[in-house]
Structure 1
Amino acid sequence: MTGRWRGPGLPGRLGEPGPRTDRGRLLLVLLLAAAVTVFTATVPLLRGFFDLRVYYGTVHTWVHHGGRIYDYRVPGTAYGFTYPPFAAVAMLPLALLGRTAAIVVSLLVNLAALAVVLRVLAGPHRRRHGWYRWALCLCLLALFEPLRDTVSFGQVNLVLLALVLGDAWLLASGRGRWAGAGIGLAAAVKLTPALFVGLLLLAGRRRAAGTATAVALAATALAAWADPAASRFYWTEALWDTGRVGRLDYVSNQSLQGVLARLGETGRPLWATAVLLTLCVWAWRARRAVAAGDWAAAFALTGAAACLVSPITWVHHLVWLLPSFAVLVRAGHPRVAAALYAVLCTSVVWLWFDDASGLDGFLGGNLYTWISLGLLLGLPVGQSRAPRFPLARSTSATAPAPSPDSPATTAVPDQSESSSGATAAATGVADAAGREECGRSPSSEPTGSTRPSAAKPQSSRERASSYTVNPPPA
């Protein structure tokens, strides 16, 4: 039995304050757009599409020069490809493009993914919000540090989020036959989204979980067929070498392991214990959310938990927190959502780029981690009864009232995949109102620093050659 997509959409009063006329509203939007543009252009926040350079150089080396996927390094740096082999297979179209064309395609793909995310989050009543509210929303989103870094790095986070939310829409709209495929593809590209398979299992969505697992395994097998040596190297060596990704104690690593590394605790047992405790809290809270029919909170909790338990969670990975802000708004806490969102626009953690020691470094240098942990522990659950999904598919918005001859019965939800169409409706949540803008200074650090470049191998954009623009002849 399936339900209809009835996400809570945008807050009902978002955009009502301000000019009353269309002309005044257009002027305000233009001013805000100009301010965001000037901010982006004058405060050097652009990352030089560093991660896209990694993808581009890896694929071109592999396809055109017979190189190996995991041997490539961006010239002048120690950074190369760190994703599972299927990610390289999925990026093969880059082999047909020049570098400028690859940047254009990256921008278009990210914009399309953002459109999908916003469409799913807004629910079926997205048109009622009007151009004014959507314009304000886009201006605010442009200031969100994880989002702007995803775009300017040429990263794939938005695409993965769109794939997961696509499954949400499929399950909630009664098109659940292929539900789970998006999560499976996302997990084959990056391992972090695999935690959503665990959510499907907790929710009793065995068919969707099976589909996600099968798709991930099929994609992994395809990559093994395309390049057996690369697959063998990744799963036996590269996966376990976090040094290939970056320094664990680097301030951009806002995961639990990043916190421990900055404290000088690099032992795996302590980190494993912290991860286990976090997953126990996540399972407990996610089950409560599922039992209450609060799928939005369940998916938001999963995104926060994934950011915490991943060995490395760069700042741009924190786009997985967006559903949490919307859940806060829906639950009647817009000021809390706005405050947390504003903090994630500030790049404040970079104040402790050079030295995260002391109490101030422990609190401030890990502030994004504390936000993720706070959301995992305190996000309201069981408060989405109003947009709850009907258990049975129906053309009517409401069920007929029971008659004395036919007393009402209580439906016992089936725990199979088709029992409720709301599994991934988790992300049918609202955009947080009252978000604020701010920002800091730049860096070419490939992991997302907004600090000026440091004279070390990680800060490499100035020294990188034009290899990926004009690759050497075979």
Structure 2
Amino acid sequence: MNWGILGDPGKRRWWLVAGVCVAVAVLLPFGWDHTGADLKVYRLGGAAILSDPSSLYTTRLRYISMPFTYPIFGGVVMAPVSLLPWPLAYGASIATSLVALVVIWKLSLKQYFAGRRLHPAVLIAISAASLLIEPVRETLSYGQINLLLCALILYDVLGPKQRFGRGAWLGLAAGIKLTPLVFFGLLLVTRQWKALANASAAFAGTVAIGFLIAPRTAYEYWTNLISDTGRIGGLAYSGNQSWNGFLIRLTGDLDGGGRLWQLVVLVTVAAGLWLSRDLWRRGEELAAVSVTGLIGLFCSPVSWSHHWVWVIPLGVSLLTATQLGRRYPLPVALSWSALFMLAPIWWPPRRGNLELSWNFVQSLAGNAYLWLTLAAALLLALDGWRERTAMRTARRDQAAFPH
């Protein structure tokens, strides 16, 4: 019997892709309220490298107060982008991010679909639907590079262990934007010495390039500007989903979380790297990398909501590395995605330091990214504890009743 095109499973999948893309095209404009502001600052930095590198951290756009805040190597990478006409530059930024998004999903789902073929239609449909996730749509609308860096790190860290130069992409990513340095910690605690050496050498090379291009500017950046969080924006703003942002909103101290923040960061790094090491040793490598990404997000003085693209591999990790996710994959996946699509962090009053007057319920919603991902990390840790407990019990039973 001929059921037409809908009778072919392959064609049904492509019809699903078409339906998802239509739905996303209808819904996405409701969350698309930016004009590539960050990309404009990137282009400003690239233009400064080409004209006067000494002005990299002082030049401003007339209509955007934000300065360039990345290392000099970041400006070098952006130099070619500054030569493109704005429409072409913004279009290229979106296209590159879309490719990176597909790569992130492909690498993340590789473990979930282990031994099974992931149909291209399924990959495209999931990638398209994820455009509605708030960190993803914000990255695209701002012209940010978060998706590209996430894809590079996943490709490098999760790649074949014997691949030549493994770790170098991580070092380059850290040279563009410092937050990937946290993944050096994962290589360290899992004793991946060759990859760590490659990453360190690549990062040192990016630093050296900065000193070769503009020695005084590089010295100023690494000794002074690197710790100047005032250049990044209002720390109390609800878009700052980090421990520092939470403590500022909680205490009302606009200068930062102070010693309490430093203590929380120390505990988070220690606990996070322990969990990452445990997950890596259990074979849950995607989860290990995702938790390491969380360490950087939690501990950075500023982690804007668009930095949180790591919720994609973390969400997949919940399905592969926790009993809850393995038992109820669809509800967990839909709930996780929906929460980051709805983005509760934007529900309470914001801007003008209104965040300092939040009540308990508003604070719960306004810091939602922290609580959701902290709960995910605890679930991953709990699953490891259960596994170790089961192994100890099995060993005791074997010792008590040897065959």
Verify same fold: TM over 0.5.
Answer: yes
Given residue 209 of structure 1, which amino acid in structure 2 is its aligned partner?
L
Alignment of 1:343 with 2:339, yes or no, is: yes
Q: 1:304 — aligned with what? A: 294
Q: For residues 48 and 282 of structure 2, what CA distance do their matches in structure 1 show?
A: 51
Q: 1:368 — aligned with what? A: 369
Q: 1:165 — aligned with what? A: 154
Q: For residues 59 and 204 of structure 1, what CA distance do their matches in structure 2 show?
A: 37
Q: For residues 19 and 207 of structure 2, what CA distance do their matches in structure 1 show?
A: 48
Distance 1:310 1:33, change over 3 A: same
Q: For residues 166 and 57 of structure 2, what CA distance do their matches in structure 1 show?
A: 32
Alignment of 1:35 with 2:31, yes or no, is: no
Equivalent residues of 1:304, 1:375 under 8 A apart: no
Once structures 1 and 2 are overlaid, which stretch shifts more, 79-88 or 366-375?
366-375
Q: How far did residue 46 of structure 1 move?
A: 3.6
Distance 1:87 1:323, change over 3 A: same
Q: For residues 192 and 313 of structure 1, what CA distance do their matches in structure 2 show?
A: 10
Q: For residues 13 and 102 of structure 2, what CA distance do their matches in structure 1 show?
A: 22
Equivalent residues of 1:180, 1:212 under 8 A apart: yes
Post-superposition CA distance 1:217-257 (Å, at most 9, x none):
11111111111122122112211110100111000000000
The correspondence for 2:143, drawn from 154, 162, 165, is: 154
Q: 2:179 — aligned with what? A: 192
Distance 1:374 1:98, change over 3 A: same
Alignment of 1:120 with 2:107, yes or no, is: yes
Q: How far did residue 126 of structure 1 move?
A: 9.3
Q: How far did residue 171 of structure 1 move?
A: 3.1
The correspondence for 1:322, drawn from 309, 312, 327, is: 312
Q: For residues 337 and 215 of structure 1, what CA distance do their matches in structure 2 show?
A: 36
Following TM superposition, the consecutive aligned residue runs of length 4 or more in structure 1 with deviations greater than 6 angstroms are 124-127
Once structures 1 and 2 are overlaid, which stretch shifts more, 310-319 or 138-147?
138-147
The correspondence for 1:136, drawn from 105, 112, 125, is: 125
Within 5 A, what are the aligned runs for 1:4-403? 21-22=8-9, 25-41=13-29, 43-64=30-51, 68-123=55-110, 128-172=117-161, 174-175=162-163, 177-263=164-250, 264-265=252-253, 266-331=256-321, 332=326, 333-334=328-329, 335-354=331-350, 355-356=354-355, 357-379=358-380, 382=384
Equivalent residues of 2:105, 2:312 under 8 A apart: no
Number of equivalent positions: 363
Q: How far did residue 164 of structure 1 move?
A: 0.9
Once structures 1 and 2 are overlaid, which stretch shifts more, 109-118 or 21-30?
21-30
Distance 1:215 1:38, change over 3 A: same
Q: For residues 74 and 347 of structure 1, what CA distance do their matches in structure 2 show?
A: 30
Distance 1:382 1:152, change over 3 A: same
Distance 1:233 1:369, change over 3 A: same
1:142 alignment partner, SS class: helix
1:340 alignment partner, SS class: helix
Q: How far did residue 44 of structure 1 move?
A: 4.9
RMSD, aligned α-carbons: 2.4
**Identity across matched positions, percent:** 33
Q: How far did residue 108 of structure 1 move?
A: 2.5
Q: For residues 358 and 238 of structure 1, what CA distance do their matches in structure 2 show?
A: 35
Given residue 68 of structure 1, which amino acid in structure 2 is its aligned partner?
S
Once structures 1 and 2 are overlaid, which stretch shifts more, 231-240 or 346-355?
346-355
Q: For residues 220 and 115 of structure 2, what CA distance do their matches in structure 1 show?
A: 46
Equivalent residues of 1:296, 1:327 under 8 A apart: yes
1:225 alignment partner, SS class: helix
Given residue 48 of structure 1, which amino acid in structure 2 is its aligned partner?
T
Post-superposition CA distance 1:32-68 (Å, at most 9, x none):
3212112223x15142111001011222244246761
Runs of 5+ in structure 2 lacking a partner?
Answer: 1-5, 388-403
Post-superposition CA distance 1:140-166 (Å, at most 9, x none):
211111111111211111111121122
Q: For residues 77 and 285 of structure 1, what CA distance do their matches in structure 2 show?
A: 40
Q: Which one has a larger percent helix, Structure 1 or Structure 2? A: 2
**TM-score, scaled relative to structure 2:** 0.83
Q: For residues 155 and 188 of structure 2, what CA distance do their matches in structure 1 show?
A: 18
